[in-house]
Amino acid sequence: MRILFYANSLAPAGGVERVISKHIAFLEKHHEIILLTKDSVNSFYPLPNNVQRESLKIHFHLNLSSRVQRISTILLSLIKSSWKLHKYLDLTKPDVVYVATPLNLLELQIANLLSLRFSIKNVCVTEHSSYRAYNFVYKSIIQLLYPRVGLLLVPTRGDHALYSAFNIRSHYLANPLPFDPILSSNHENKTVLNVGRLTDDKQHSVLLDIWSKTKFREGWILKIIGEGENYLAIKSQIARLGIESSVQLCPVTKNIEAEYASASIFALSSRAEGFGLVILEAMACGLPCIAFDCPTGPRDMIENERSGYLIPPEDQVSYIKHLEALLESYSLRKTMGQNAKQSIHFFSPQNIALQLNALIDSAFKIQKIS
């Protein structure tokens, strides 16, 4: 089959982009793959050489400080993208289109209305955010369009159950382990690691408050790796709390495996996660993980009190207590880290690739665009 992957961009170094690049690699061995993005920027993550890359040549920047300008930019992009997408679909006639956001699916539906040649029954949607984390507009798109797509894949059991309650058929497909780690933590370096975009959902402000109140952190470093709109606010909070000597704020890196291996604990403070790929990466490198037990994500990977700790949402006292236990005890870090490393085989790329190909073949083997 000819499968068209459609995304805004694969240039960011995020978990969504990493998973999309993996799915491309999983499917290109059996299908013709075209990657269509709005921008013309190269993918941050490597892609197979035989993947055809195309661009709608739509470049826009969201002004995160102005809601009015942000909404107007999104609407303008929606109109431009839908029109160009309709032309592209008429020209290339893919058998299946793969998207990873509700907004991209809406663009496909508008393109369908413009051409009357494409049906969203030929669409595979892979979700990467929790339904609970979406705003009203995105939830409305989901309720309207998700029941009509050919294949809906969700990476957490929580969202799979939620969509079933909405009478929306979905299939649970976990995200794959991004790499087969060569390096592993020795649990001796006094580094607590956090990786993720600097956005409100990740709650870095909460993590910094927790860190400032944590005993036994003398000599330890909290390293936060990420970029995003909250960068300046986070820097300001670090200074306000007087913890500059024990917190490092670092940019994203392609050598993330080395960062995991040089840490001894992974700490996540998100209030919502679609999957939390960084947890899987950390566990693969032998790190014990501590995270808030938000509705979806961490609980799919962390076994509480065996490979890490799942903390009741907003319970900072419990978070501090369990983080201190890990800071204080090398043997606890080592035991939990070893358990974490042993528990991630279910998420192996080979296993997820087999599942993805089987689901695609089953859903679309007789579906063609006329």
- What digits encode the pLDDT tens for the residues 252-282? 998 999 999 999 999 999 998 888 889 999 9
Where exactly are the structural domains of the chain? 2-176+348-364, 191-346
Alpha carbons 104 and 111: distance in angstroms, whole number: 11
In contact, 190 and 255? CB cutoff 8 Å: no
Phi and psi at residue 265, to the nearest 5°: -145, 145
Place 62 in a pLDDT band, splitting at 50, 70 and 90.
Answer: low
pLDDT digit string (tens) for 201-233? 999 999 999 999 999 888 999 999 999 999 999
199 burial (CB, 10 Å; 0-12 / 13-18 / 19+) is: middle
CATH 3.40.50.2000 fits 2-176+348-364, yes or no: yes
3-state secondary structure of 298: helix
Phi, psi of 129 (to 5 degrees): -120, 160
Contact 29, 292 (CB under 8 A): no
pLDDT for the residue 13? 84
Please state whether beta strands 221-225 and 32-37 pair in parallel, antiparallel, or not at all (unpaired).
Answer: unpaired
CA 71 vs CA 10, 78, 107, 137, 228: distances in Å: 22, 10, 15, 11, 18
Predicted pLDDT at 115:
72
Judged against a pLDDT cut of 90, whether residue 367 lies above it is answered with no
CB 310 within 8 A of CB 299: yes
Q: What is the mean pLDDT of the chain?
A: 92
pLDDT band at 72 (very low <50, low <70, confident <90, very high): confident
152 backbone dihedrals φ, ψ, rounded to 5°: -115, 120
Residue 240: which H helix or E strand, with range? helix 231-241
H helices then E strands: how many in the chain?
12, 13
Long-range contacts, 303-306 (Cβ 8 Å, 24+): 303/339, 303/343, 306/336, 306/339, 306/343
Average pLDDT of the residues in 60-85: 77
Nearest to 123 by CA among 156, 159, 151, 100: 151
Q: Quick one: pLDDT at residue 369? A: 41
Q: Which of 22, 5, 307, 35 is nearest to 176 (CA)?
A: 22
Residue 368 confidence (pLDDT) above 80: no
For 35, 87, 266, 275, 308, the CA distances from 298, given in Å and listed in that order, are: 30, 41, 12, 7, 10
pLDDT at 64: 56
- The pLDDT tens digits for 20-36 are 999 999 999 999 999 99
pLDDT at position 180 is: 85
pLDDT in tens, 308-322: 999 999 999 999 999
Structure tokens at 233: 């606010």
Domain range 191-346, CATH class = alpha beta
More confident residue, 115 or 348: 348
pLDDT at 251 over 70: yes
Rounded to whole angstroms, the Cα distance separating 243 from 230 reads 18
CA distance 65 to 67: 7
